[in-house]
Amino acid sequence: MKTSAFLYPWDVLGDPDAPARVMDLGVRQVTLASAYHSTRALTPRHPRHRVVTAEHSAVLYPIDEDRWADAELRPYAAGEWAPGDAFGEAAAALAGAGLDVHTWVVLAHNSRLGAEHPDTSVVNVYGDRYPWAPCIARPAVRTYVLSLAAEAAVRPGAAGTELESLGWYGLAHLHAHDKIGGVPLGEAAQYLMSLCFCTVCRAGYLSLGLDPDELNAAVRRALEPVWNGAQAPGGPPGPPGIEKLLGAELTAATLDWRVNAARTLQETTVAAVRARGGPGFQVLLHADPHSHRTGANAGVDPAHILDAADGVVLPCTGGAAEAMLTPFAAHRRESTVLAANFTVVTGMGGSPGTLADDAARARALGATELRLYHAGLASDADLAAVTAGLSRLG
């Protein structure tokens, strides 16, 4: 199976051994970040540093000033963690070792954008803004996402791209000193807490025949048993669980608004990337097969997204392969890419020692490729287990 390992440019720059180390794993492709959110990352083998702090979301190459000259929203340049054309330099080093390079682009997830342009953020039912979550129904955000994708995905030397967070972001978000776990929220409550009530979304609900104030009141009433402990965090998965809290009619209407906003953005963004990338440029989405879900793996309709893109990258760690792959396998064509993404960092919940068995299981479920998260973050022992696992796969 074709296998790609995720990397950041700072895993490669300043470490002349990094490209060969990746090759020695048994992979022949790297998915290299070109636009990424804020993070603090370990670099356990780098000769110059051990921790890199990316202070804000940024593009990891020089911004095309002409493209963004008149833009209402624009990406941010990276600081010292990825100066200059960090992506281009790292990509060249990896390609020089014989590795294919694809871009890794984070789109609708940007805390600095939300802090500096608060009107772009998702606004929950209580009026709280989520600065990490740009509302993808807003025209300025949609223009920003489309332009960023076209620029960041199609970098010199890249043969394809993987687009992350091309859809709704919601409440769930890894945050510094996070303290929102005091009341457990099930999948349905997470959905309700991720509904947006910004001015654009309120107008969207109105266009579907809903009074946004009445919807807001209904969502608050639906959440009240969650806050007072009368509603357990379990319940049926997916829309049936949401309907149990909100009712079938309101659930369907909110899903109509959100799914349509995500689908149209995904269609136009993939088309823009393809137009710039040219024939043969591969476009994949990090995805989840349930349209109501939010986050880095955007909720999608499998049949629709496989008509729009060349395939998907699916989170399969921890026994999730069947739930993730089966809905897409039913709609794949001969050329469709279904990439099973496995975390191979033990300290982050991965199991590199079972990679061969996990990959074989994924292949039986329809996976055509593997992704390894994350070659730069993994320990030496984790990388040794990956090498052994890939060698067993052949």
pLDDT, tens digit (0-9, with 9 covering 90-100), for 98-111: 999 999 999 999 99
What the block records as the tokens of 266 is 């995904």
Question: 111 to each of 104, 162, 176, 343, how far by Cα in Å?
Answer: 18, 21, 12, 24
Does any domain span residue 201? no
CA nearest 274: which of 156, 105, 161? 161
Mean pLDDT of the 311-320 span: 97
CA nearest 62: which of 159, 191, 155, 147? 155
Q: What is the pLDDT, as a whole number, of residue 133?
A: 97
Q: How many domains does the chain have?
A: 1
What the block records as the tokens of 252 is 């369907």
State yes or no: pLDDT of 178 exceeds 70: no
Percent of the chain with pLDDT over 90: 92
Do residues 78 and 86 touch, judged by C-beta distance below 8 A? yes
Does any domain span residue 190? no
Does any domain span residue 234? no
Record the pTM. Answer: 0.96
How is the chain split among helix, strand and coil, in percent rounded to 5? Answer: 45, 20, 40
Does any domain span residue 209? no
Do residues 368 and 338 touch, judged by C-beta distance below 8 A? yes
Burial, 66: exposed, middle or buried (Cβ in 10 Å; 0-12, 13-18, 19+)?
exposed
Q: What is the pLDDT, as a whole number, of residue 268?
A: 98
**Domain containing residue 117:** 2-178+260-393
**Strand (E) or helix (H) holding 144:** helix 139-153
Domain of 109, CATH number, reads 3.20.20.80
Q: Report the C-alpha gap between 275 and 278 in whole angstroms.
A: 6
CA nearest 136: which of 106, 167, 98? 167
What the block records as the tokens of 209 is 């025949």
